[in-house]
Structure 1
Amino acid sequence: MDLDLILKTQLQPRRPRVKEGKCFLPLLLGAWVTAMICGRCPAAPGKEPPSFQEVYELLKENLAGATEAELNEAAVRGLLDQLAAKVSVVGETPRTPVSTNTSASISAVVFDRSYGYFRVRRLAPGTDQEFQAVYTRLQSTNTLKGLILDLRFTGGQDYAAAVALADRFFAREQPLVDWGEGWKKSTVKTNAIVLPVAVLVNRKTTGAAEALAGILRHRDVGLLIGTNTAGQASMAREFLLKTGQRLRLAIAPVKVADGQELPFSGIKADIEVEVSPEDELAWYEDAFLAPPKSARSASVTTNETNLASTNRSTHRRMNEAELVRMSREGQSPEREFPPTNALGRLLEPPPQMVNDPALARALDLLKGLAVVQQFRSI
């Protein structure tokens, strides 16, 4: 099946029709060149943008050293870059079974002995069961007052896994999501999680993870903290190309809750936390990392009410591997160096400061909600 035919007939919104008999290469290269030119040099008011056919012919006839194959490759790459949220090449058809990743999907720790942090590394079959097992273990050794679900850098296309995990937060049956296979609903249960939830998202939250975030937000389970998601949650269809690769096209947006479409511009965070991609990744790997000089003046208010205004603690920072180990052992990151006597407790340095802005803001939010609930219960 030709790529131009797939794009013309399947991609939403549909692109303008072109005359029959036009070469496939001009269509691709023209779309790329037009998009690039229009983005950098907008057409004057009242004038149409350059014709892609005209641009292509000029390149083909006059661009020194460029072969037709090179123009074709540049056109395809440009087109995929411009429509990255809606079109992607997902790889060659595997000739042998793909090995299954057996590493843990969920890692978790407890902050302040009351707030469970769950990092969802990927959404796959069984992720919901793994989440429930970790949650049950932490709940048995701590009095949890809220949960943080970290979906930053989480993606995939397993929408069924997203539904299964979201279902843990609903006690009755209600529509959750439709990704082109009809509405998937939650199930009736007596052990649904009813704690306040904060969901961390960023521009690398894609596909099924976006759907999970959208379900929890639009069903009022939790608030989103971070930046807009990627905008890649879509009803998709795949087409086999002659190269053996598959072209995935977004044919319609995914719907959540009672029919709300997840926008291709991404889901907007309720509480926006803007940091540079480099700093965000560094904090994702080590939440206690001291903020860079550029971010210190605008850092988020600390989530620790008893901290001094310095990070000069004698505690060493824990990396992700240590957090995973402590999670499996049911430990809290603040208990790594327990005092051996009363004097030790007096001399113990203050707990580590969480410098990850999104995580710190989530902890602040959950603590505030816990205080409000405490006053309401009086």
Structure 2
Amino acid sequence: MSRLLLATFLISVLGANLAAQLQAPTSASQTVTNSPAQPTPSPSATPTLEELVNSLGPADLQAFITLLKANFTNPDAITDTQLSRATVEGLLVRMPRGITLLAGKESVAPATPAGFYSELIAGRTGYVRLGALNNANLQALDKALSGFAAKKVNDLIVDLRASSGTSDLSLATEFAKRFCPKGKPVFTVRKPTGRQDRVFSSDREPEFRGLLMVLADNDTSGAAEAIAAALRFYNKALVIGQPTAGRAAEYSDLPLPNGKGLRLAVAEMVSPEGRSLFPEGVKPDLPVEMSLSEKQQIFQSSSEKGMGPFIYETGRPHMSEAALLAGTNPELEAAEAAQQRRGHAPEKPPPHDPVLQRALDVVTSLEVYQKH
């Protein structure tokens, strides 16, 4: 790593800490002068600390460190050890997706892998939530696609919002092969310059060739991000939801002398069109916000209730024509008020999945367009 980059990280981290040390306490006896007040810049024009650090050139960075070592009132804070710690802290802050400091080798209970779920929505649109990219879910996907084919389903929504990273990239590629064309690369794992790329390609005909929609969010990480990018490139699938995690990389855990560890992104995943997916991830074509808690609640309940109750928003009935025109429900509102007076809270509506709803709206719109 260049001295310029290291100095940039040092200044970024040290700047905030030293500013607190250098602030003198305000004295109650401090006199006030009548000099004209200096105009203060608007908040929008005030650069952030990171912007200030990034604006320094090589000479400024070197001068900053030299002046700091020679003049700062607390020399114990500017030792080589402290500078090294500031460098590490700066790297961790600036590169959270690529660098992680591990507390130790303590065994952490692995999270329960997310299961596969499928459903035929409204009798015409297939829905598959891949979950963890493992063998069990791959077999479940094949079974679901076979069932959809028997029912001549032409529209499919692939939900990657419960698909996190996996170290088995070959297995992850198998999921994409069910949709991507034979002989085409799904993604490439690229290491630093001078090392050979690894290309993961499809060696079979796709199981599904119809209209595809992809749902993604910040829980979509690792190879699942590469799958989303491949489906968008080859199948013209719209990606709906929120940006993915930006962790489409291959990681390696390296030991430190004191027992702690350093997890590094050692290779990045590249989409079929040659765009790196690390650390920016995949941006949605149709951004739709949704809370994590509601999504988790829906996913937990869908195995028993299906996705229907969480998609369609049913309007409250209007008891008269006047109420319909006014958009009110006087009888229902009176009943709810009576419930509250008796100490009974009105029934809370189920959570709603606006991401899946948007995908279904797009599918319906395209079907209507194709018919005319």
Which range, TM-score by smaller chain?
A: 0.5 to 0.7
2:194 equivalent to 1:184: no
CA apart distance, 1:101: 6.7
| In the alignment, structure 1 residue 224 sits paired with structure 2 residue 239 | yes
Structure 1 equivalent of residue 359 of structure 2? 362
- In structure 1, how many angstroms separate the alpha carbons of the residues matched to 2:296 and 2:302? 10
Distance 1:207 1:59 in 2: 46
Normalised TM-score (structure 1): 0.62
Are positions 1:61 and 2:82 aligned together? no
1:55-204 alignment runs, 5 A limit: 58=72, 61=75, 76-89=88-101, 92-93=104-105, 105-137=115-147, 144-152=153-161, 154-158=163-167, 159-180=169-190, 182-189=198-205, 192-204=207-219
TM alignment of 1:225-264, pairs within 5 A: 225-264=240-279
On the 8 A contact 1:166/1:216 being kept in 2, the answer is yes
Taking only aligned residues, the RMSD between alpha carbons, in angstroms, comes to 4.1
Maintained 8 Å contact 2:179/2:208: yes
Q: Contact 2:145–2:208 (CA<8 Å) still a contact in 1? A: no
Are residues 85 and 54 of structure 1, via their aligned partners in 2, closer, same or farther at CA, if it must alter by over 3 Å? Answer: farther
Q: Which residue identity lines up with residue 33 of structure 1 in the other structure?
A: L
1:120/1:77 CA distance change after superposition, 3 Å: farther
- Judged with a 3 Å threshold, the aligned counterparts in structure 2 of structure 1 residues 44 and 137 are, in CA distance, closer, same or farther, namely closer
Alpha carbons of structure 1 residues 232 and 320: separation in structure 2 relative to 1, 3 Å: closer
Residue type of the alignment partner of 2:50: G
For the residue of structure 1 that corresponds to 2:247, the secondary structure is: coil
Contact map agreement 2:166 2:172 (CA 8 A) in 1: no
Q: Aligned partners of 1:44, 1:100: CA distance in 2, in Å?
A: 43
Alpha-carbon distance in structure 2 between the residues aligned to 1:173 and 1:134 = 24
Alignment equivalent of 1:371, drawn from 360, 368, 371: 368
Structure 1 gap ranges (5+): 1-7, 9-13, 19-25, 287-318, 335-351
Mapped to 2, the partners of 1:153 and 1:320 lie a distance apart of 9
Using the alignment, how far apart are the partners of 1:51 and 1:204 within structure 2? Answer: 40
Structure 2: unaligned runs, 5 residues or longer: 18-47, 191-196, 311-348
The structure with the largest helix share of the pair is: 2
Q: Which amino acid aligns with 2:122?
A: D
Instruction: Please tell me the residue identity of whatever aligns with 2:368.
Output: V
1:176-218 CA deviation, whole Å, 9 max, x = no partner? 11114521111223x6111211111223322211111111112
CA–CA distance in structure 2, aligned partners of residues 227 and 359 of structure 1: 12
Partner residue in 1 for 2:64 = 51
TM-fit CA distance, 1:107: 1.9
Distance of 1:359 and 1:105 partners within structure 2: 18
What residue in structure 2 maps to residue 23 of structure 1? none
Residue 33 of structure 1 pairs with residue 44 of structure 2: no
* Structure 1 residues 172 and 68, CA gap change in structure 2 (3 angstroms): closer
What's the TM-score, normalizing by structure 2?
Answer: 0.63
Q: One-letter code of the match for 1:136?
A: S
The 1:55/1:80 distance shift into structure 2, 3 A limit, reads farther
Letter in 1 for 2:284: A
Q: Which amino acid aligns with 1:357?
A: P
- Bigger-Rg structure (1/2): 2
Deviations 1:46-81 (A, max 9, x none): 783573576588596366xx9998987676444312
Change (3 A) 1:172 1:356: same
Q: Provide closer, same or farther for how the CA distance between residues 321 and 124 of structure 1 changes in structure 2, counting only shifts above 3 A.
A: same
Change (3 A) 1:246 1:130: farther
Higher relative contact order (CA 8 A, sep 6+): 1
Tell me the number of residue pairs that the alignment of Structure 1 and Structure 2 aligns: 294
Residue 324 (structure 1) aligns with: 303
Question: Is the contact between residue 32 and residue 82 of structure 1 (CA under 8 Å) also seen in structure 2?
Answer: no
What letter matches 2:226 in structure 1?
A
Q: How do 1:304-315 and structure 2 match up within 5 A?
A: none
* Residue aligning to 1:305: none
Structure 2 counterpart SS, 1:48: helix
Residue type of the alignment partner of 1:182: R
Q: Look up the match of 2:327.
A: none
- Please give the secondary structure, in 2, of the residue aligned with 1:85: coil
Do structure 1's residue 282 and structure 2's residue 282 form an aligned pair?
Answer: no
Tell me how far apart the structure 2 counterparts of residues 17 and 43 of structure 1 sit (CA, whole Å). 10
* Partner of residue 213 from structure 1, selected from 228, 233, 239: 228
Change (3 A) 1:104 1:122: closer
Deviations 1:142-162 (CA, angstroms, capped at 9, x unpaired):
553422222225321433232
What SS class does the counterpart of residue 51 from structure 1 fall into?
A: helix
Q: d(CA) in 2 for partners of 1:130 and 1:82?
A: 40
Note the C-alpha offset of 1:113.
Answer: 2.1
